Amino acid sequence: MKLDHASSADDGSSEPERGSSEQLTREDRAQLLRYMLLMRLSEERAITLYRQGKVPGSFYDGHGQEAISVGASFVLAPRDRMCILHRDLGAHFVRGVTPDRYLANYMGRADGVTGGKDGNMHFGDRNLGCVGMVSMLPDMAQVAVGMALAIKMEREPRVAMTFFGEGATANGQFHEALNFAGIHRLPVVFILENNKFAYSTPTELEYAVDPVDRAATYGFPGVSVDGNDVEAVFEASRVAAERARQGEGPTLIECHTMRMHGHGAHDDMSYVPDGMLEEWERRDPIDRYEGRLREQHGFTDDELASIRQACEREVAEAAERALASPMPEPELALEGVFAERFEPLGDGQAPWSHWAERAPDDQRTNGAGAGRKARVA
Ligand SMILES: Cc1ncc(C[n+]2csc(CCOP(=O)(O)OP(=O)(O)O)c2C)c(N)n1
Ligand SMILES: [Mg+2]
């Protein structure tokens, strides 16, 4: 079953209809732009640090995919839970990670999210409701399904959300996760980022059936949206999260986009057909959203420039702080590697005005009233 939401695109080859959500205030829209810009600018700063030799290993980014992690995570409430992958920095920021902690993480510094234990993208701040990234693809889907099972057993109106690329759908774990979620109608939202390549493998060599169509075979809806349209991603995710909270089970959302940079900074992308990047460049999610804010929502050039300048300042200051952060103390190397006691995740930031202004109390806190029994996720 393929549902049509705010907008759809088959293969990204034609300009899709633009989605627009009625659930967003002007301030929400400014925030969506701000988070996308923070992701773009932070990753640009990180790649410079990488080229300066300050980042060990390689560097991975989500340039051009900002609308997906920002639009999807924006719908979540504080007690919802996330499993975030390597192209989804925007989701970390929406939940409350700051650019200085991200940049320090890539440089292996003490003030990075993992305190220097991972000089890369395998992080997730458990205090903000996010699980540390698991590299085996798409095993974060299993983790999200497990959390969704715990949430369902507790009968709480909460949601688990996970991201993965289209390449990861060829792995058996993807099918097991969807099957289990479908059987138990679990409150989980699967965000599939179809960026047309899995390293150098193009989609026509990855699968014979579009992965979004798999959802129907596991008993729940699959939706395709334009992944370069932040409001289309937001709207599809909002509907999916709502379904999940009401006990109607999972949704798979396929976001069509393009991996605009190499798999990692070491990859020259020589396998990408001529003209493909240029074509997608014209659909850059940030440029498009700025255009829409100007044309449809009355944002002036000055307002847009000041949002951008504020983000530039924030990232420049963050880089200074990250560079000033010391290397971790060697004696801390083994601390926190293994769980010593059971501790549920903390709650994340939830900037969507719906949660702050409109949601009834039980939704604002996802039903977490005082004195409830111990949490499970
Ligand atoms: C089980 C497994 N096999 C191989 C890898 C190595 N690997 C890391 S990223 C990647 C490509 C993934 O492609 P896709 O899922 O489309 O995500 P994208 O990088 O395009 O966002 C591969 C093969 C891995 N991490 N896990
Ligand atoms: Mg891919």
Tell me the average pLDDT across 263-275: 96
Residue 45 in any domain: the answer is yes
Q: Provide the domain count of the chain.
A: 1
Tell me the average pLDDT of the chain: 92
Residue 15 in any domain: the answer is no
Expressed in angstroms and rounded, the spacing between residue 52 Cα and the centre of ligand 2 is: 27
- Burial of 339 from C-beta contacts in 10 A (0-12 / 13-18 / 19+): exposed
Torsion region of 348: left, alpha or beta (phi above 0 gives left; psi -120 to 50 gives alpha): beta
Residue 204 in any domain: the answer is yes
Expressed in angstroms and rounded, the spacing between residue 41 Cα and the centre of ligand 2 is: 22
Ligand 1 binding pocket includes 271 (Cβ within 6 Å): no
Residue 272 in any domain: the answer is no
User: Closest ligand 1 atom to the C-alpha of 169?
Assistant: 15
Q: What would the pLDDT profile of 12-36 be if each residue is shown by its tens digit?
A: 444 444 578 899 999 999 999 999 9
Ligand 1 binding pocket includes 173 (Cβ within 6 Å): no
Residue 207 in any domain: the answer is yes
- pLDDT confidence bin for 360, thresholds 50/70/90: low
> Domain containing 85: what range?
26-265+281-325+345-357
User: At residue 172, does pLDDT exceed 90?
Assistant: yes
Residue 364 in any domain: the answer is no
Residue 296 in any domain: the answer is yes
Ligand 1 binding pocket includes 261 (Cβ within 6 Å): no
CATH number of the domain bearing residue 225: 3.40.50.970
User: At residue 3, does pLDDT exceed 80?
Assistant: no
Residue 17 in any domain: the answer is no
Q: What would the pLDDT profile of 297-330 be if each residue is shown by its tens digit?
A: 999 999 999 999 999 999 999 999 999 999 999 9
pLDDT at residue 339, as a whole number: 83
pTM score of the predicted model = 0.93
Scanning 283-365, the segments in alpha helix (DSSP H) are 285-296, 301-324, 353, 361-364
Ligand 1 binding pocket includes 64 (Cβ within 6 Å): no
Expressed in angstroms and rounded, the spacing between residue 323 Cα and the centre of ligand 1 is: 30
- pLDDT confidence bin for 359, thresholds 50/70/90: low
Cα separation, 192 vs 256, in Å, equals 9
User: Closest ligand 1 atom to the C-alpha of 198?
Assistant: 13
Ligand 1 binding pocket includes 195 (Cβ within 6 Å): yes
